[in-house]
């Protein structure tokens, strides 16, 4: 459809322009501005901050003394300058640390990070634990430092970065005997976080192609438990923003990030919305709530086809605004509106929790309310799904009975001149239309992308067909 092509052009324009703007701003500035601002907040006018210099690079802070023109009172440094190899979940975490000549951490401030905002809601509280500690001690997560709930990778990266950089400053700049960093062991690749996502996507794809409802629900349950409850890691517009900013996590410490991105993109380009339809933890929660509402015989909230079609544009507006705002401010904090991040991160303001509860209540009465009308990453996935290699098509035996239109839970099928047309960016591959078709004429086949709405005919390149 022309509307999908138009939306794709708008997305590319905003994404490319925003990314170029972000990188242009980055090329014109550096961390010095952020460091100076943090130093002004930490130190009063009675202390003099010398320019950044030395090896390792640092700021020497002096205070006037009656018996000595200048007495060193502290050393400040950017942890990233000393430990660039340590990354958080989504990329480097830059902190300004201030240490006294005796080796006590006086203050620590966040300069810049790429972590998912919903998961580091309490980052400032977390780093405040380091204040008052001596750098000669240990900074082991879970023993010496309490980590951020559901943000273990971020917590670990901060603890290791502070520990390693502070000890380096202590030895080389302050000439202190501080020992070696605690627990600074080489990280090894966790293959389980490569194997499990592969199995999860395989189950989802088999459920779609095999028209197996049990496999689909099994994949949704596994996605809820593994991606939602255990890892709190989902496909999000945050990843899209970080890709545009060229902020990538370390593969060894975070292979799941890469697996999710690659497998989602591949499935979108081949079949369509496999992740959204059969894996997304929040989608599974919404479906369970909706079916619970039907079991309790609560009245379903229905909208006309015209209202539904217009309301769907809202999620594209959300996507475009989030992208533009993120590139403008230079981080992904604008993406904190994604309801599933708030729910599974379990960190939010009162307004954030109220928003999530509102969405979940609506999901009891309307099938996948968030997915249909508000989800920004779902909007992006839909644009890619529109160009997928294989799509659901209707055979020539289709009599235009309209059953598929009636049973489609997301309203992706519309009858036009007694012919069913699928709006593929909205199709979640739930197979309801395929299962309920009285003539069994729906099947997957290669698409030549003539439009986003598909009406096919049976050909020899059928991928799967009902016997």
> How does pLDDT run across 367-384, given as a tens digit for each residue?
999 999 999 999 999 999
What does the pLDDT read at residue 31? 81
* Structure token pair of residue 37: 């601002």
pLDDT band at 456 (very low <50, low <70, confident <90, very high): very low
**Distance in Å from the first CA to the final CA of the chain:** 31
Q: List, in sequence order, the alpha helices (H) in 233-280.
A: 237-244, 255-270, 274-278
Q: What is the mean pLDDT of residues 92-101?
A: 94
pLDDT band at 66 (very low <50, low <70, confident <90, very high): low
Query: By mean pLDDT, which of 61-75, 134-148, 205-219, 235-249 is the weakest?
Result: 61-75
pLDDT band at 47 (very low <50, low <70, confident <90, very high): confident
What's the pTM value of the predicted model, to 2 decimals? 0.83
pLDDT band at 185 (very low <50, low <70, confident <90, very high): low
Q: Are 96 and 38 in contact (CB under 8 A)?
A: yes
Q: What is the mean pLDDT of residues 54-76?
A: 82
Query: By mean pLDDT, which of 249-253, 254-258, 314-318 is the weakest?
Result: 249-253
Q: Are 19 and 327 in contact (CB under 8 A)?
A: yes
Residue-wise pLDDT for 106-122, tens only, equals 999 999 888 877 777 78
User: Domain-by-domain residue ranges, the chain?
Assistant: 2-21+190-384, 43-172, 390-459
Other beta carbons within 10 Å of 387: 17
DSSP 132: T
Residue 164 reports pLDDT greater than 60: yes
Rounded to 5°, angle at Cα 353 from 219 and 278: 15
User: Helices 237-244 and 376-385 meet at what angle, rounded to 10?
Assistant: 70
Residue-wise pLDDT for 327-383, tens only, equals 998 888 887 789 998 899 877 788 889 999 999 999 999 999 999 999 999 999 999
Q: What CA–CA distance (Å, rounded) separates 376 from 366?
A: 18
Class of domain 390-459: alpha beta
């Amino acid at each position: 459809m022309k509307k999908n092509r138009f939306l794709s052009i708008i997305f590319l324009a905003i994404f490319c322009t925003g990314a170029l703007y972000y990188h242009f701003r980055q090329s014109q500035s550096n961390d010095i501005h952020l460091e100076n601002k943090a130093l002004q907040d930490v130190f009063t006018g009675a202390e003099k901050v010398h320019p950044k210099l030395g090896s390792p690079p640092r700021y020497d802070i002096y205070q006037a003394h009656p018996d000595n023109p200048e007495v060193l009172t502290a050393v400040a440094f950017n942890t990233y300058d000393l430990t660039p190899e340590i990354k958080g979940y989504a990329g480097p975490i830059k902190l300004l640390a201030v240490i006294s000549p005796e080796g006590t951490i006086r203050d620590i401030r966040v300069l810049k990070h790429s972590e998912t905002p919903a998961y580091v809601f309490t980052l400032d509280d977390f780093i405040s634990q380091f204040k008052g500690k001596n750098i000669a001690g240990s900074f082991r997560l879970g023993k010496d430092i309490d980590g951020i709930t559901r943000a273990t990778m971020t917590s670990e990266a901060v603890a290791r970065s502070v520990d390693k950089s502070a000890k380096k400053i202590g030895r080389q700049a302050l000439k202190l005997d501080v020992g070696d960093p605690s627990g600074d062991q080489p990280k090894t690749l966790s293959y389980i976080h490569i194997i499990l996502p592969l199995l999860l996507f395989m189950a989802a794809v088999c459920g779609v192609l095999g028209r197996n409802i049990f496999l689909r629900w099994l994949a949704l349950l596994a996605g809820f438990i593994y991606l939602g409850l255990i890892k709190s890691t989902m496909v999000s517009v945050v990843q899209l923003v970080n890709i545009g900013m060229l902020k990538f996590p370390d593969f060894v410490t975070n292979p799941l990030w890469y697996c999710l991105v690659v497998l989602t993109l591949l499935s979108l380009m081949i079949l369509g919305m496999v992740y959204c339809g059969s894996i997304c933890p929040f989608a599974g929660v919404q479906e369970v709530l909706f079916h619970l509402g039907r079991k309790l015989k609560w009245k379903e909230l229905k909208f006309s086809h015209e209202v539904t079609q217009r309301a769907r544009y809202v999620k594209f507006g959300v996507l475009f605004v989030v992208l533009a705002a993120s590139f403008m401010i230079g981080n992904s904090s604008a993406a904190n509106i994604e309801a599933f991040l708030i729910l599974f991160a379990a960190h939010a303001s009162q307004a954030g929790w109220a928003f999530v509860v509102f969405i979940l209540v609506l999901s009891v009465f309307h099938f996948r309310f968030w997915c249909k009308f508000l989800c920004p990453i779902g909007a992006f996935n839909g644009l890619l799904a529109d160009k997928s290699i294989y799509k659901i098509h209707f055979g020539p035996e289709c009599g235009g009975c309209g059953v598929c239109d009636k049973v489609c839970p997301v309203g992706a099928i519309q009858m036009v001149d007694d012919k069913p047309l699928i709006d593929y960016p909205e199709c979640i591959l739930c197979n309801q239309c395929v299962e309920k078709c009285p003539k069994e004429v729906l099947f997957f086949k290669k698409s030549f992308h003539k439009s986003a709405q598909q009406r096919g005919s049976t050909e020899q390149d059928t991928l799967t067909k009902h016997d």
